[in-house]
Amino acid sequence: MGRTLVIGLLVLFALSLVTASHASSTVSVRDLGVLPGYTTTEAQGINEAGRIVGTSGDGGSQSRPFLWNDGVMTNLGTLGGSRGIAHGISDTGFIAGESEVASHEMHAFLWENGNMKDLGLGVAFAVNDQGQAAGCGFPTSSAPPCHAVLWQSGQVTDLGTLGGRSGSAYGINDAGQVVGSSLSTDGFMHAFLWQAGTMTDLGGLPGYQFSAAWDINAAGQVVGSSIGADGITHAVLWEAGVVRDLGNLGGRATIAYGINDAGQVVGISIPADGPIDGFLWRDGVMTKLPTPGNGDGAGSDINGAGQVVGGHYLYAFGATPATPMSGMAFYIASAGLAGATFAFYHVRRSFRPRKNPNRR
């Protein structure tokens, strides 16, 4: 077999491998709509089945928690007041949130099978498959400050603090591990991990003062934010006792709000001016989520399928097969390496530009 033909065949083989491995990423963006009679939507959580929760309002004093399922948005009602937000949903259908009551106080709730249960003064930010809800509550007194709490089986457990007077839980996994932030003895809020009755300070980036943990996955990976020595808020990942800076999209603050079991992270990036951007971080790369129009974007939560919610959008990511090489490209390849390199298929990977969640 001639040397030119051998080289050509080898180049064709190499090109086929490169082309196959460089399928371009695509993202679809779906507007979730609004509840009838309302004008705004803020998606807060999504489960493995793609069911979404959040709040839909009139931009003023009225809002309602919702459950979105396959294009249908359902009003979950309130505990007697005019406002409500659903913050999280489990794979088993439990929904955690907060609702105004008739006396105008905000109470935590746990929703299941059409029934909204009043958990008392506070807010429930997250819930796991067992129906354990985590948030901010008042286990001993209705007066401030709020403490990180765990609601389960009709009981509320005070998770304690890191030496300060207040705190809040924001995330929980199916193992019952809870994350959040607590006032520490130094007067600043620190991220914490609570498990088996013990609250551990997660610390932050070198030189940090403030940190907060927003979510935890099944593997115990925790995401949140930390102010670094540069005075800027960074999105971070805690794993095996080590804190990792996830980078940024520029601007003055980046916050990670959600992580799935694959370690993919979503959050927001706040620029010095202009609209807020949502982001997806995966495989070490932070990418801006596209936002139709010129409004703010957000990444509030992500499920195992890589579906992301934020603002009033649902994002779904996929891979588009690369375009096959033309007959001319094959001909050039057979002529030698230089010609094949010239005809090499150029792959372009791009994302078009995309709530600052009402989290506390």
pLDDT in tens, 216-253: 999 999 999 999 888 899 999 999 999 999 999 988 89
What contacts 128, CB < 8 A, 6 or more positions away? 90, 94, 172, 173, 174, 176
User: Do 228 and 183 touch, CB atoms closer than 8 A?
Assistant: no
d(CA 156, CA 327): 69
**Do 239 and 328 have their domain in common?**
no
CA-closest candidate to residue 270, choices 198, 190, 355, 186 = 355
pLDDT band (50, 70, 90) for residue 324 = very low
Task: Yes or no: say if 191 and 238 are a contact pair by the CB < 8 Å rule.
Answer: yes
Does residue 244 lie within any of the structural domains?
Answer: yes
Q: What is the pLDDT of residue 33?
A: 97
315 and 326 fall within a common domain: no
pLDDT tens digits, residue range 71-107? 999 999 999 999 999 999 999 999 999 999 999 999 9
267 and 332 co-located in one domain: no
Element (H, E) at 339: helix 337-342
What is the DSSP code (8-state) at residue 272? S
Tell the burial category of 219 from Cβ atoms under 10 Å away from its Cβ (0-12, 13-18, 19+). Answer: middle
Calpha distance 271→174 (Å, rounded): 35
CA distance readout (Å), 165 to 65, 138, 140, 144, 172: 30, 12, 13, 9, 22
Instruction: Give the pair of three-digit tokens for residue 342.
Output: 């010239």
Give the per-residue pLDDT at 25.
64
Peptide bond into 65 cis (omega under 30): no
346 in the same domain as 262: no
More confident residue, 29 or 350: 29
Largest CA distance in the chain: 89
Do 289 and 330 reside in the same domain of the chain? Answer: no
Q: Is 19 strand, coil or helix?
A: helix
- Condensed to tens digits (0 to 9), the pLDDT of residues 275-318 reads 999 999 999 999 999 988 878 899 999 999 999 999 999 999 87
Are 299 and 349 members of one domain? no
Lookup result for tokens 């300070």: 201
Tell me the two tokens of residue 216: 């935890």
Which two tokens mark 125? 């930010």
pLDDT at residue 339 above 70?
no
Helical residues (DSSP H) of 54-196, grouped into ranges: none
Q: Which residue range forms the structural domain that includes residue 313?
A: 202-320
Number of domains in the chain: 2
DSSP 228-281: -TTS-EEEEEEETTEEEE---SSSSEEEEEEE-TT--EEEEEE-SSS--EEEEE
Does residue 3 fall inside a structural domain?
A: yes
What value does the CA radius of gyration of the chain take, rounded to a whole number of Å? 24
| Domain shared by 242 and 271, yes or no | yes
